[in-house]
Amino acid sequence: MPSCDFKPEEYKGMSKERIMEIRRKNCNPMTMKITYYKKPVFLHQGYMQWLWDFDGNRYLDLFAGVATVVYLTNSGSEANDLAMLMARLHTGNFDLLTLRGSYHGGTQQTMGLTSNSSYKYPIATSSGCTNVHGEEATAGTLLCRPPDNVAVPKGMGGAVQYPKNYLKEAYHLVRERGGVCIADEVQTGFGRTGSHFWGFQGHDVLPDMVTMAKGIGDGFPMGAVVTTPEIAASFAKAFHFNTFGGGPLACAVASSVLDTIKEDGTQQNSHNVGTYLMTELAKLRDTYEIIGDVRGKGLQIGVEMASRDPLSPEAMSEIFEDIKDMGVLIGKGGVYGQGI
């Protein structure tokens, strides 16, 4: 090989045996499967196209991206798409359930999970996906099919909050029929609800899979699927990789985001500011008939503009313009686009 004038630092970390022990205990089985080598290469440092192992041996890096301990992706749509595949492989079931008004991505597969017509095109999307409404998700629909997926809080649906014990009952019924539960935490994760780091924690449930994006990289393109060792083992039956998922830059950004969340106390800030905002918005609701409802948790808050009927798109557009002219930028959601 060509010579290289870069001199790597001497490795002084833990032993190879200890690293292998940690990998076997914590990594998904596919991580071990795609190393290719009978004797693993323990890489220590890199410089341009060169890599060095613990013993100072130099290698030319011609690999593309592969899966790591958590399944890292580039977006929430990609994460949910992957979670659908993993759920179906693990359970042997095909049907998936999401809630009316939900949004889970813009790929052809995840559009099947998405029920908000604003984000759908007039073409066939992923089959096997059913959007249920209200108590159907914990009653008749679950009794007639074994679903793979029940998602958590509806952000794009207007920050709709679940009734007490709703998710507990839904999770129980899904698992009773051989399904798995997926929590889409793209909008609710990373402390946004204030009381908990993850939205599902506020409902005292533990999903089989958690998908995340947006907040994981504070706007940088990154997503992830976190699952159980059992589901990961089912997924390891074939070869899966993601060329750009889990790249060094994305991981460095995500690591810095986690540090910032902890150091700046952003979760507590979501709780404090969100509580104040909900209180003040409730006063406006009680004063103005046009505000039909104020709901949410932490800094995921929805204000529904309606009296007897949803406010017209034209009226909503005027409100958006007025709020923007006052120096405040907000988002829009809700089944009929009447939530802010």
CATH of the domain at 278: 3.90.1150.10
Residue 339, in any domain of the structure = no
Total domains present in the chain: 3
- What confidence score (pLDDT) does residue 153 get? 45
For residues 276 and 260, membership in a common domain is answered with no
Residues 39, 110: one domain?
no
- Whether 79 and 111 map to the same domain: the answer is yes
pLDDT of res. 325: 74
109 and 44 share a domain? Answer: no
**Residue 310 forms part of a structural domain:** yes
Q: Do 176 and 295 lie in a common domain?
A: no
Asked if residue 142 is part of any domain, the answer here is yes
Tell me what pLDDT residue 158 has: 58
Whether 183 and 281 map to the same domain: the answer is: no
Looking at the fold, whether 227 and 300 belong to one and the same domain comes out as no
Instruction: Output the pLDDT for position 17.
Output: 87
238 with 92, same domain?
yes
Residues 77-105 pLDDT 10s: 999 999 998 999 999 988 888 877 778 88
- Has residue 224 been placed in a domain? yes
Position 66 scores a pLDDT of 40
- 286 and 212 in a single domain? The answer is no
Torsion, Cα of 197, 200, 206, 210 (10° steps): -80
Which pLDDT does position 259 carry in this prediction?
A: 94
Residue 158 lies in a domain: yes
- What's the pLDDT score for residue 28? 61
Q: Is pTM beyond 0.85 here? A: no
User: Residues 243, 284: one domain?
Assistant: no
Q: Using the 3D structure, point to which of 27, 60, 93 is the last residue of a domain.
A: 60
Nearest to 130, CA basis, from 153, 156, 112: 112
Residue 224 is part of which domain span? 71-264
Maximum C-alpha span of the chain: 77
User: How does pLDDT run across 249-289, given as a tens digit for each residue?
Assistant: 898 999 999 999 999 999 999 999 999 999 999 999 999 88
Task: Show which of 213, 248, 264 is a domain's final residue.
Answer: 264
pLDDT of residue 63: 58
Helix (H), strand (E), coil (C) string for the chain: CCCCCCCCCCCCCCCHHHHHHHHHHHCCHHHHHCCCCCCCCCEEEEECCEEEECCCCEEECCCCCCCCCCEEECCHHHHHHHHHHHHHHHHCCCCEEEECCCCCCCCCCHHHCCCCHHHCCCCCCCCCEEEECHHHHHCHHHHHCCCCCCCCCECCCCCECCCCCHHHHHHHHHHHCCCCCEEECCCCCCCCCCCCCCHHHHHCCCCCEEEECHHHCCCCCCEEEEECHHHHHHHCCCCCCCCCCCCHHHHHHHHHHHHHHHHHCHHHHHHHHHHHHHHHHHHHHHHCCCEEEEEEECCEEEEEEECCCECCHHHHHHHHHHHHHCCCCCCCECCCCCEC
| Burial status of residue 162 (CB atoms within 10 A of its CB: 0-12, 13-18, 19 or more) | middle
Same domain, 156 and 92: yes
Residue 120 lies in a domain: yes
CATH number of the domain encompassing residue 246: 3.40.640.10
Q: CA 210, CA 246: separation in Å to the nearest integer?
A: 17
Within a domain: residue 23?
A: yes
Same structural domain, 86 and 204: yes
pLDDT of 151 reads 47
Positions in the chain short of pLDDT 50: 64-69, 139-148, 150-154
244-95-336-196 Cα dihedral, nearest 10 degrees:
-60
